[in-house]
Structure 1
Amino acid sequence: MIICANKMEYPLRSQCQRVQKQVVVNGEKERVSLLFVKALVSRGSVDAVFQQMASHPQYLESFLRTQHYILHMDGPLPLPYRHYIAIMAAARHHCNYLVYLHSAQFLRVGGDPLWLQGLEAAPPRLRLLDHINKVLAHQPWLTACSHIQTLLKSGEQCWSLAELVQAVVILAHCHALCSFVFGCDTDSDFVSRSKSPNGTPPTYCPFDAANGNTNVPQSFATPSEHIRRRRSLDSSCDMICLKERIQKSQEQHEKREERHLQTQTLQQTDSEEEEEMMCFADPSRFITDPDFCYQEFARREEDHFQVFRVQDYSWEDHGFSLVNRLYSDIGHLLDDRFRSVTSLPSMHSSDLKRAIWNYIHCVLGIRYDDYDYSEVNHLLERDLKLYIKAVACFPDTTKTPVCPLSWALLKGSERIHVNLLIMEARLQAELLYALRAITQYMIA
């Protein structure tokens, strides 16, 4: 009888494990759906970048919270300034996808359409950011105290310290996000489908969340009613009403797609819409000195090429406290992003993740005295190193990065995890250079 009881126990245990697994999967589905609803509330859209990140809901939540805070919540900079700075940052890497999205957001929050004609049409205060934008995007080790001084002491056009810190955070955030966009090939996909039947960019599409075959809601609803509200991501809302609206929007989109397939013709937009689309899609008008780009960092005797040693200025001991003091709470949000991306459950070992992080910092001139860099060559195959460096340092020149051969063995979520590591490591590197320069200005 005992043997029989044991035999019966195994199928019961197996069934219990399946139920538990299903509960976990359903929980992840609900979490992803909730995150997308929150994105809809805060931005009025669920774009392709969020859909890529959705395979890691824990990280996506941290990312959404940070992005919502710097672009929509209370802060020293007016909302149109924030989105215009984001346009400037994305333009440095010719990222059509982000330039379009932030151009649309810029107009929805009341930005002057004339500014979208080009950088020369923007206010002088914004144009002053062009140099630090260029340096942080391509050669962040050149960021100097003199750049900070120029911005803070420019007569009537001067920036306050709090405004500058928020601007720097937005610049670094968008530069790093460009790396993720190109790494996941979102930009080339956007360009190839940028003329949809109704003149709207295809930023809404289904995404298989965490391999759970979850149909992520689609929405083409006009976001203007949401964008002007500075809501927290955790604000209460009528969930039932939102879900009904999302379902209705999805049905409307499916009908539009069906009509498009039947007619097989594109709906022509009027000349005014065409001009607006061209304005959104041309990043070159928002940059100067287009030949300025990434150069191999080399250790030289010149002071401005000295290696940035984390032991002298680190995020944990210096950057975090400074940015949190000058721009309330952003330090906690950024720190949560850095911790979240490195602690995600993954088939990548902690040593491999650290090798990726430290390699990116190394090619950007940042070194850790307590790290054995032979580990980088040992853990990262050559094609993976080439891919990481391209996406982190010059993503726009590759357009469609050549994926490492080893990626064929990885799940989509694992490849996205690598791109998230690249993005966050680059973000922290730019912040370290900018915050160190601000610190030097403050103690000078």
Structure 2
Amino acid sequence: MRRSRRWVFLTAALATWAAAAVPAAASGGQQPRPRTERVSVAADGTQADVASHTPAITADGRHVAFLTRASVFVPGTPRGRHLYLKDLRTGAVERANVSEDDNPDLRWVYEYSLSATGRYVVFASAAEEMGPGHVVDKHLYVRDRATGRTEPLLDDGRPGGAGNPVISADGRYVAFDSPRTDLVPGGGKREYQVYVHDRVRHTTRRVSVASDGAAADGFSHLPVISADGSEVGFLSVADNLGTAGGPRPAPRDTSFYVHDMRTGRTRPAAQRQDGTPAAVVTERSLTPDGRYALFCSSTPGIVTGYTGTVQQCYAKDLRTGVTRMVSLAPDGAPADGHTSAVVMGADHRRVFFTSWAHNLLPGGAGEFSAVYARDLRTGAVERIDVAADGTGADGLAGGTSVDRSGRVVAFESWAGNLVPGDTNDTGDVFVRRLT
């Protein structure tokens, strides 16, 4: 049996309205048939010899990025965990964590994000691999693929580290978390907080703050960002970010909040119906327009009628304040297994998530996690990790990312039956093109 990996979901910046248009449907009124392609192969088709994982697709659907230690993609690549981009039109593969001076600090990439067209890539990297009991500061870099330049995001040379970067569609704004105390005046104690750096004005702003501007009174991390950079979501254990019910008893769970960069308002995005915070460990995202906050939680009482503790996925409309469960079967029943990695297309039509549930489609999903799409208008559910004949993956799948159109989905899987010739017996990155 193939080994499981911990799926890392990062959201990436998924949309920009100035990006290249989505290709039109085939002539003659025919819709292209759905198909699955393997992304994590070299330009000549050579398979990776170790796992590839953590995919992200650009908003225009042209490039898919992923992380891997494999050495087959670019000749002469030094040992490390590298970030690659695959051009889905040409098949070309390039390494993004490179610099003019072959900086060794770029060899181990941990998190990354793509601008809408993939011109800008921001990533967190270190010279050494971090392991148990071994702390290495990560630093942030931005690569401009048009100019070929890679530069530090915070060009000050100071220690302290930063991570989990996410970039706006145009590449101007980067949100990240850091324990540094010198990024803004009155930086406070050494505790992770969330910041946004404006690459045009060269300014940094703390966004893990209450609506009155007070810094969050607990650690905050794992940001997500809307396409235009105006909305930034993050997780926090703080008590002063607008949740009802007063201070929470220790140990406090992280919950999901969204900060409006224009108004300074911070709102809870994950709550029970009584207004108290719902626990969100890692699973969170924003739609490109920032209207919907998506999250997964095992907290009961988030929506009427559901008191179970199976982790479900939800979408909160930040305009109306309404939260709905989205990890549902076609008959409206909640998923009967753990769900995670929820994202939504820019048109708000489909949601995508990973689940171990057996009731989402007839016959279930077998013994592995699978990736699903749910149509929010019709309630129809479709499995994403399938072969050309519709056969489900024979290995774990997850790590979902979707383009602006909501029709090209990137995911990772340890299956060997999704495409012909998959014989490397390890994790790969795939795309599924929907109708």
TM-score (norm: length of structure 1): 0.20
From the two aligned structures, give the one with the greater strand fraction: 2
**Bigger radius of gyration, 1 or 2?**
1
Greater RCO, 1 or 2 (C-alpha within 8 Å, sep 6+)? 1
Q: Hey, which of these two has a bigger chunk of helix by percent?
A: 1
